[in-house]
Amino acid sequence: MSLYHLTNTEIAERLAQAIRAWRVSPQGAALSQVELAHKSGIGLTPLKRFEKTGAITLRNLVALLRALNLLDGLETLVPPPDAPGPLALLAAERKRTQRKRAPRAGTPRTNTTSTGTASTGTPRASKAPTGPDSPHG
C-alpha cells in the first residue's frame, strides 16, 4: 500500500499503532508499556506519547525496535545508493514476465527441415556421394 497520500503525522501515527499492536500481541512481544520502557531504556512518558501521537526521537525509536527484536527491519528501510530504484525494479519485472508470441500461421518460415527442403518448397542442393562405390572416392 502506498503511503504517499498520507501526511507525515499520519504515517507516524500508523507506525506507532503498528508498534503498539506488536507490543501487546501474544504472537509479538506481549509486553506492557512499563515492561517495554524498562527493557528499551526509554522513559514511560515518551513511550506513552509515541503510542498516542507518533512523536518520538530517532534514538528512542531505535531503542524500542531493539527491545522488540524488530531492529532487522531497519536494514531494508533505505536501499544502497547503487541498488536499482523501485521504477527500475518494476520495469525489470514487467520485462521478465513478458511472454514471447508464437509466429502467425500464415507467415512463411525459412528454417530447413529434415528432408533437406526449406519450408518454401524449394529443394536444396545435396553433396555428391563419396565412398568406395562413388566415382569420387
Please tell me the predicted confidence (pLDDT) of residue 9: 96
List pLDDT tens digits, range 25-66. Answer: 999 999 999 999 999 999 999 999 999 999 999 999 999 999
CA-to-CA dists, residue 7 to 3, 4, 57, angstroms: 8, 8, 18
In eight-state DSSP terms, residue 28 is: T
Question: Of 30, 2, 18, whose CA–CA distance to 86 is shortest?
Answer: 2
Sorting pLDDT into bands at 50, 70 and 90, what band is 23? very high
List pLDDT tens digits, range 77-129. Answer: 887 888 787 788 888 888 876 666 777 887 666 655 555 555 555 555 555 55
d(CA 34, CA 18) in angstroms, rounded, equals 18
List, in sequence order, the alpha helices (H) in the chain.
Answer: 8-24, 33-40, 44-53, 58-67, 86-97
Q: Which three cell numbers stand for residue 27?
A: 504472537
